[in-house]
Structure 1
Amino acid sequence: MAPDSRPARIDIRDVEIIAPNFKRRLSGVTSTIIQLIPVQRALGQKIAALGPGLPATLPHIRFRDLIHLWTPPVGKKHRVWHARRNVEMLPAILMRDILRMKLKIVFTSASQRKHTGWTKWLISKMDAVIATSSKTAAYLDVPSTVILHGIDTVRFSPPADKAAAKAAVGLDPTKNIAGCFGRVRHQKGTDLFVDTMIRLLPDRPDWIAIIAGRATAKHIDFENGLKARVTAAGLADRILFVGEHTNINDWYRALDLFIAPQRWEGFGLTPLEAMSTGVPVIATDVGAFPELLVDDGNGPQGMIARDSLDAMAEMAARYMDDTPGRDTLADAGLAHILEDFQIDMEAKRIAAVYRSTRY
């Protein structure tokens, strides 16, 4: 490993909060850790990661450093261990209760289903619990603090020039663009988006659609089936599968309408990312989506019933045909994000939970 790519190792004596990541494969939890830790450190929180599957530059400690957990950092009685999975709660309980190490354990739950007895037991041993939505909190048997995820509003920000943003990712700057981003699979409702566009685009020559995201090996046949439907409809040049991109923020900037068509979702950041980029959003009533969209007093704007092609097509047609309506929804969404969903707000709310443990 070249010297300039070595992991950013932190002296554990300078670490007050440990964020373990015991899963190598990239997941929503891993992504949350990657995005939050730099923000938390910028706010003065002495936090470091522990475990595989993280960028080499992310501040971290090593497993062998855990031997020092019997000694708390200067000015503290304990360290905080912030777990987000069962496999991260269990070792912390053993270290705190069996080895008597100086730890307080915080757990963030994103699950929206009934917990097993084992998981309930683990959660009951926490010093504090965070739920990522009110829906998640309803599945917990212990008190929790609801903290919705935030967004990096610098990375996800509106373009200065929409036409230039479209050209920058190789799309026609003269077209309006509807988008659906995320893993390509049935659970994510990619087929509902594709079928909606097959229904609507023939009568709207000024619109095209893009699907950005990857189909894993298990879902390749599903993706190929969607491509075949698009080709059969004669829309292969107007419904584009553009793959997975690390610069996904640039692709959001090219959009005129974003649709989150999920049939099921644990939390789902894509509506927040789209709104932060100044794009109007339509989303199904799953996961935390009802808590993320703008509520004008009559319910979340742009919300539709899950697994309903007719509802999606009706709402999409409404906004595709109403430029002022899209602009109004986009402006409301961006203001909503800036007021309530900036990622530093999430980091500050998490810090308050850490403080509640009196570590």
Structure 2
Amino acid sequence: MHQSAPAPRPRVLHLAQPVDGGVARVVLDLARAQLAAGLHVMAACPDGELDTGLRELGVDVRRWQAGRAPGPGLPGEVRRLARLAGEARPDLVHAHSAKAGLAGRLAVRGRIPTVFQPHAWSFEAVGGSTAALALRWERWGARWADRVVCVSEAERATGLRAGVRAAYTVVPNGIDTERFAPGPRTAPLPTLLPEGPEGPEGAVAPDPAAPVVVCVGRLCRQKGQDVLLQAWARVLDAVPRARLVLVGDGPGRETLGHRAHPSVHFTGAVGDVVPWYRGADLVVLPSRWEGMALAPLEALGCGRPVVVTDVDGARESLPPALAARCLVPPEDPAALARAIAALLSDPPLRAALGDQGRRHVLATHDVRHTAERISDVYRELLDARTERRPRVPSECRESIHP
């Protein structure tokens, strides 16, 4: 009996720059799920931790030489990306974050179904004339995105208020709930920290019994660690033995180190953040802007309560009990200090909030649900292009789901 040939697997090309932090984790999680679902997954990105992780998964990675921010090299980056896309021949392009979204849309210009995922809007990250230019681009570039995927309703609302008219879909961020899960606090602060004090001269030795606050994120203006350091003196007035650990690295490391109290510790880049979440009594992320930050979701997945600033995506990522107690205005050190001190002084409340947070993440922020919804977006776009271009084989419409 004649058997029909198997339907070709849709070829998805992820474009990414930056290649670290939350964007890298989102791309890795999506690639892992899409490979398992039978898609042909490709990626174009600069060298870095994302490139390494994708290759380990078995993704077809094409090296794309590109800086983190737009600059004089942009025309060459666009040309290189156009050549890569021509060689890869994807059925769909998924561009992540501002830089890849800029270069990718200029390179493809709507000739291939294109998904753009801002991961927080570019015009929020800058000021003055640069912000005005970024906003003009986002308004113009929206015509070359078949779909703009926002990670929160708040991020979508920010785009609409700014005049970015596009076909939007909201897909909340998700995490690997098996990896980010509660576990024994087997690695207390002294054993997690490297030998010798980190941070400014005179840093004190860690106290195993001291309450530990952990902040996970790139050391940069967006994540607001400078605001947390301003708040920390007030926290110590209420909880003198408290310790603060800043997990991550970035351009703000030296400046933050000069401002830090001896009770503040810097880990630098770490390979696995899970032990730091499990070793924390409280996780704090004082961001100035986000789309929907991953760190609070990861902390909640590990059963740890959080204090976060009320920026885009924060309310949507928290269960009601935490939203009522754990949200503070951005760039408000006094409010941040009050929220941290209140929770450090109430262990039973921390335990209850951590348990509620874990259950909320399991129900609404499992990365498998995220990947399924992204696949739905891909299928819609491929179906729409197939209907407009009958010469495309009809099998493409049926093969986006396993």
TM-score (normalizing by structure 2): 0.71
Q: Secondary structure of 1:91's match?
A: helix
Residue 24 (structure 1) shift: 6.7
> What one-letter code is carried by the residue in structure 2 that aligns with 1:323?
P
Matched ranges for 1:154-169 at <5 A: 154-159=178-183, 161-164=184-187, 166=189, 169=192
User: Is the aligned partner of 1:241 residue 2:266?
Assistant: yes
Q: Secondary structure of 2:42's match?
A: strand
> What one-letter code is carried by the residue in structure 1 that aligns with 2:230?
D
In structure 1, stretches of 5+ residues that fail to align are 1-12, 70-77, 97-102, 231-235
In structure 2, stretches of 5+ residues that fail to align are 1-6, 63-82, 124-131, 194-205, 384-396, 398-402
Q: Is the 8 A contact 1:275 1:337 kept in 2?
A: yes
Q: Is the 8 A contact 2:150 2:291 kept in 1?
A: no
Change (3 A) 1:316 1:111: closer
1:276 corresponding residue in structure 2: 301
Matched ranges for 1:1-359 at <5 A: 15-21=9-15, 23=17, 25-26=19-20, 28-53=22-47, 54-55=51-52, 56-58=55-57, 59-60=59-60, 62=62, 66-67=86-87, 69=89, 79-84=91-96, 85-93=101-109, 96=111, 103-112=112-121, 113=123, 116-138=135-157, 139=159, 140-159=164-183, 161-164=184-187, 166=189, 169-170=192-193, 172-216=207-251, 219-227=252-260, 230=261, 236=262, 238-296=263-321, 299-357=323-381, 358=383, 359=397
> What one-letter code is carried by the residue in structure 2 that aligns with 1:280?
P
Q: State the number of aligned residues.
A: 320
How far apart are the structure 2 equivalents of 1:93 and 1:191? 39
Q: Secondary structure of 1:334's match?
A: helix
Change (3 A) 1:149 1:22: closer
Q: Which moved more, 1:185-194 or 1:334-343?
A: 185-194
Identity within the alignment, %: 27
Change (3 A) 1:118 1:195: closer
Residue 111 (structure 1) shift: 3.6
How far apart are the structure 1 equivalents of 2:86 and 2:348? 57
Q: Is the 8 A contact 1:213 1:243 kept in 2?
A: yes
Residue 252 (structure 1) shift: 1.0
Residue 92 (structure 1) shift: 2.2
Q: Is the 8 A contact 1:261 1:284 kept in 2?
A: yes
Q: Secondary structure of 1:162's match?
A: coil
Residue 342 (structure 1) shift: 1.0
Residue 109 (structure 1) shift: 2.8
After superposition, give the CA deviation of every residue in 1:260-292 in whole Å (9 maximum; x if it has no partner): 112233432111111111110010111321221
Q: What RMSD over aligned residues (CA atoms) do the two structures have, in Å?
A: 2.7
Q: Is the 8 A contact 1:21 1:52 kept in 2?
A: no
> What one-letter code is carried by the residue in structure 1 that aligns with 2:209?
T
How far apart are the structure 2 equivalents of 1:304 and 1:180? 15
How far apart are the structure 1 equivalents of 2:16 and 2:329? 35
Residue 126 (structure 1) shift: 2.8
Residue 299 (structure 1) shift: 4.9
Larger relative helix fraction: 2
Residue 122 (structure 1) shift: 2.8
Change (3 A) 1:278 1:24: closer
Q: Is the 8 A contact 1:18 1:50 kept in 2?
A: no
> What one-letter code is carried by the residue in structure 2 that aligns with 1:132?
V
2:203 corresponding residue in structure 1: none
Residue 38 (structure 1) shift: 0.9
Residue 45 (structure 1) shift: 3.3
Q: Is the 8 A contact 1:16 1:79 kept in 2?
A: yes
Q: Is the 8 A contact 2:15 2:44 kept in 1?
A: yes
